[in-house]
């Protein structure tokens, strides 16, 4: 029997809190000035990430706690991280006043070292250089499909998956952590090889048979799912979609036959190979 998502997230929250320091982290300078996110932008951020029951949100640099508190009010479990003990104390008082019980927790900790792997949503309002320092952790430690929302500031060359206006000039930006699929994948049916190059969520796909290019295209990852479009060597349009499970890619490729016929549909499975 499969456990409900909210039960799984509660287990994840318990495990997460167990790995966090009981005593405050060694004080360091704040990595960003304390600037309050407006209530309107808090809601826009949560809406952008579709936060709700079953989510575990971690807010890096949580200030007075308004983002984790608002997330908990929408049914999520949430954790706020801040290096400033006074802000953490304020956030705890605010959460207590909201009557949220164990749905929201606040910890004094360093955003660069605090555990984040259990999060389904990460929110932040830091600085551009801090975002860049955090980016490797976000990409390597978070599960594919985890949603990241930043107020105002970007992740450098990692383009956002969505961008909406907010009270700040930079707006609100959403990233969905992409799966890591770069490499060579051998089709089980034919032995042909899919070569995939990846830069963040952008991918370049080449299909080779006996070393010869048979098709190529460009696509994008959204969590574990990716789609791509391209052409084969005869100039026919192709589109494909696939998803990784362990060391196996499974998906479908549609190929144009002629202008009057429905595209040819081919299901495929491919295994990762070393080279």
Domain of residue 254, CATH code: 2.40.128.30
- pTM for the full predicted model: 0.90
**Strand extents, DSSP E, the chain:** 56-60, 77-82, 104-108, 121-124, 147-151, 162-164, 172-176, 183-187, 193-199, 202-209, 212-222, 225-232, 237-245, 248-255, 264-273
Contacts of 21 (CB under 8 A, 6+ apart): 107, 108, 109
Whether pLDDT at 33 is above 90: no
- At 13 the pLDDT is 65
Q: What's the rounded mean pLDDT across residues 174-180? A: 98
The number of folded domains in the chain is 2
- At 27 the pLDDT is 45
Structural domain ending residue among the three candidates 176, 209, 232: 176
Q: Which residue has the higher pLDDT, 249 or 261?
A: 249
pLDDT-derived band at 161 (thresholds 50, 70, 90) equals very high
Q: Which residue has the tokens 């990692």?
A: 158
Are residue 214 and residue 236 in the same domain, yes or no?
A: yes
Which pair of structure tokens corresponds to residue 9?
């997230």
- At 270 the pLDDT is 97
Structural domain ending residue among the three candidates 160, 176, 192: 176
CA distance 256 to 266: 11
- At 23 the pLDDT is 53
- At 30 the pLDDT is 76
Q: What's the rounded mean pLDDT across residues 248-260? A: 88
Whether pLDDT at 172 is above 70: yes
CA distance 78 to 88: 14
Structural domain span for residue 154? 5-176
Are residue 108 and residue 225 in the same domain, yes or no?
A: no
Are residue 131 and residue 215 in the same domain, yes or no?
A: no
Are residue 89 and residue 216 in the same domain, yes or no?
A: no
Whether pLDDT at 74 is above 60: yes
């Amino acid at each position: 029997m499969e456990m409900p998502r909210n039960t799984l997230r509660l287990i994840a929250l318990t495990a997460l809190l167990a790995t966090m320091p009981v005593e405050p982290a060694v004080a360091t300078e704040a990595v960003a000035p304390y600037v309050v996110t407006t209530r309107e932008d808090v809601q826009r951020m949560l809406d952008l990430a579709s936060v709700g029951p079953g989510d575990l949100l971690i807010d890096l640099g949580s200030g007075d706690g308004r983002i984790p508190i608002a997330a908990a009010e929408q049914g999520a479990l949430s954790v706020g991280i801040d290096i400033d003990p006074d802000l953490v104390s304020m956030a705890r008082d605010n959460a207590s006043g909201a009557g949220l019980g164990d749905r929201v927790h606040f910890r004094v900790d360093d955003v660069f070292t605090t555990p984040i792997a259990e999060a389904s949503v990460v929110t932040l309002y830091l600085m551009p250089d801090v975002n860049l320092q955090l980016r490797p952790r976000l990409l390597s430690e978070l599960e594919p499909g985890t949603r990241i929302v930043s107020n105002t500031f970007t992740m450098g060359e990692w383009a956002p998956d969505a961008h909406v206006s907010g009270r700040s000039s930079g707006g609100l930006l959403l990233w969905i952590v992409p799966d890591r699929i770069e490499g060579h994948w051998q089709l089980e049916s034919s032995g042909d090889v899919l070569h995939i190059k990846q830069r963040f969520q952008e991918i370049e796909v080449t299909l080779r048979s006996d070393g010869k290019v048979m098709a190529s295209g460009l696509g994008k990852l959204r969590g574990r799912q990716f789609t791509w479009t391209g052409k084969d060597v005869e100039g026919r349009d192709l589109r494909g979609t696939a998803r990784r499970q362990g060391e196996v890619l499974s998906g479908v490729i549609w190929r144009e036959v002629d202008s009057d016929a429905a595209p040819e549909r081919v299901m495929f499975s491919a295994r990762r190979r070393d080279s």
